[in-house]
């Protein structure tokens, strides 16, 4: 068996440890803006639903309870404009990262046949797990600036990510329409990672499942959604995919064999979370205030912000190597993510998360001032 180091890239966050130690040595403590992990409380109505379902001695179902499927399809219709969504169009998953990493394997992708390798395509600046998924199954990872400019030969899976991690860039509706049409024309399965869709600031993100984008048909398209960011449920591993019923049916059978089941209390909590908009708006307001404070401070300090119209991050640069910026900010006790974690095109940028507490954000603003 090939060593893990031969099959996978080095885990990028390990490289950040020395800078984390520098930032932690600051007299007022570290302000960790590197990983976009929620820090605010899980809303009480979600906690209550989890506790109420705690007595769940039996195995949960992979497809989820009817109540969960009702909640997901209702949310798809009401929030995403996916008016044709039915139970057969949804599937719970155990957190979206698990899905991204193992999807190519579950789809049966690999080295391909003859001289034509199976290819997994994703944005040039992207969440590293897209590449990991390709490498785990032996497929070829290819990057793009515009997916419709790819040579479609061998491309079996196309990843979109809007809003983008790390840049916060949003794909406009007219471009989504064009990309969906291109993927269908070439028989390429399109998966759209939309985990930050409810966190648009200067743009309104649109799903590939919106009736205007897909024409009311989910053929060849699937959207990925997570409750980690919108509902502070990263610790719950609550996520789902929605779209092409045939694709989801195949994945359901595979995931049954693999025992990939969302715990029953988490399913109940997800129902509560998707049925309430008030907590989402409250959390958005918290993030909006933190975003404004950090953006203002960074720009006043000489940083330039690019894209960042959505998501939980600011994509910023001082036009220097990203590790120089990481080191500089670590000296101020502020830890950020280097842009090259997300591809060579990010070599002069850093990603700044605004998921820290109000107190820590205020500390960062003071240090930048």
**Domain end point (choices 276, 295, 324):** 276
Residue range 135-171, pLDDT digits in tens: 999 999 999 999 999 999 999 999 999 999 999 999 9
CB 91 within 8 A of CB 99: no
Mean pLDDT of 67-75: 98
pLDDT for position 10: 67
CB 335 within 8 A of CB 30: yes
Contact 15, 337 (CB under 8 A): no
Q: Are 197 and 205 in contact (CB under 8 A)?
A: yes
Q: What is the pLDDT of residues 203-220, one digit of tens each?
A: 999 999 999 999 999 999
E strands along the chain, which residues? 31-32, 90-93, 119-123, 140-144, 155-161, 189-193, 221-226, 239-243, 304-306, 313-317, 334-335, 337-338, 349-353
3 three-state secondary structure = coil
**Domain shared by 268 and 188, yes or no:** yes
Q: How far apart are CA 235 and CA 222, in angstroms?
A: 24
Residue 191: give the domain boundaries: 44-276
- Given strand 90-93, what is the order of strands in its sheet? 90-93, 239-243, 221-226, 189-193, 155-161, 119-123, 140-144
Q: How far apart are CA 276 and CA 286, in angstroms?
A: 17
Last residue of a domain, one of 261, 276, 291: 276
**Claim to verify: residue 294 and residue 185 sit in the same structural domain:** no
> Does the pLDDT of residue 1 top 60, yes or no?
no
**Distance from C-alpha of 30 to C-alpha of 46, rounded to nearest angstrom:** 30
The predicted structure's pLDDT at residue 166: 97
Task: State the pLDDT at residue 116.
Answer: 85
Give me the number of domains the chain comprises: 2
21 and 71 belong to one structural domain: no
Do 67 and 106 fall into the same domain?
yes
The fraction of the chain above a pLDDT of 70, given in percent, is: 97
pTM above 0.85, yes or no: yes
Same domain, 212 and 70: yes
Shared-domain flag, residues 123 and 239: yes
Are 200 and 64 in the same domain? yes
**SS3 assignment, position 214:** helix
pLDDT tens digit string along 321-364? 999 999 999 999 999 999 999 999 999 999 999 999 999 999 99
Cβ pair 190, 158 in contact under 8 A: yes
Q: How many CB atoms lie within 10 A of CB 312?
A: 22
For residue 224, how many C-alpha atoms fall within 13 Å in the half-sphere facing its CB? 24
Q: Are 321 and 78 in contact (CB under 8 A)?
A: no
- Count of residues for the chain? 369
- What gap in Å lies between CA 196 and CA 127, rounded to an integer? 13
């Amino acid at each position: 068996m090939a060593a893990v180091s031969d099959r996978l890239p080095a885990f990028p966050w390990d490289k950040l440890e020395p800078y984390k130690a520098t930032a932690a040595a600051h007299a007022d403590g570290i302000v960790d803006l590197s990983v976009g992990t929620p820090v605010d409380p899980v809303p009480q109505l979600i906690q209550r639903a989890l506790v109420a379902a705690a007595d769940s001695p039996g195995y949960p179902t992979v497809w989820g309870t009817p109540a969960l499927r009702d909640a997901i399809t209702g949310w798809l219709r009401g929030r995403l404009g996916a008016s044709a969504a039915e139970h057969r169009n949804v599937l719970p998953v155990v957190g979206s990262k698990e899905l991204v990493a193992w999807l190519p394997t579950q789809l049966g992708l690999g080295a391909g046949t003859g001289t034509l390798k199976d290819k997994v395509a994703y944005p040039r600046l992207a969440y590293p797990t897209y590449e990991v998924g390709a490498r785990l199954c032996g497929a070829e990872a290819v990057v793009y600036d515009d997916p419709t400019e790819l040579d479609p030969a061998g491309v079996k899976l196309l990843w979109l990510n809007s809003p983008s991690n790390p840049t916060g860039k949003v794909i406009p509706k007219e471009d989504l329409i064009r990309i969906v049409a291109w993927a269908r024309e070439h028989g390429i399965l399109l998966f759209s990672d939309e985990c930050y869709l409810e966190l648009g600031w200067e743009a309104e993100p649109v799903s590939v499942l919106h009736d205007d984008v897909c024409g009311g048909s989910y053929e060849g398209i699937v959207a990925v959604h997570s409750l980690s960011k919108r509902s502070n449920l990263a610790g719950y591993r609550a996520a789902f995919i929605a779209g092409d019923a045939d694709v989801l049916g195949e994945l359901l059978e595979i995931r049954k064999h693999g025992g990939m089941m969302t715990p029953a209390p988490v399913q109940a909590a997800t129902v509560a979370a998707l049925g309430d908009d008030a907590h989402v708006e409250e959390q958005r307001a918290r993030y909006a205030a933190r975003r404004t404070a950090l953006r203002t401070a960074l720009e006043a300090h000489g940083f330039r912000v690019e894209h960042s119209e959505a998501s939980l991050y600011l994509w910023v640069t001082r036009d220097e190597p990203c590790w120089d910026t990481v080191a500089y900010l670590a000296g101020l006790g502020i830890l950020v993510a280097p842009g090259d974690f997300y591809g060579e095109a990010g070599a002069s940028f850093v990603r700044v998360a605004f998921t820290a507490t109000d107190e820590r954000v205020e500390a960062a603003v003071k240090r930048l001032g």
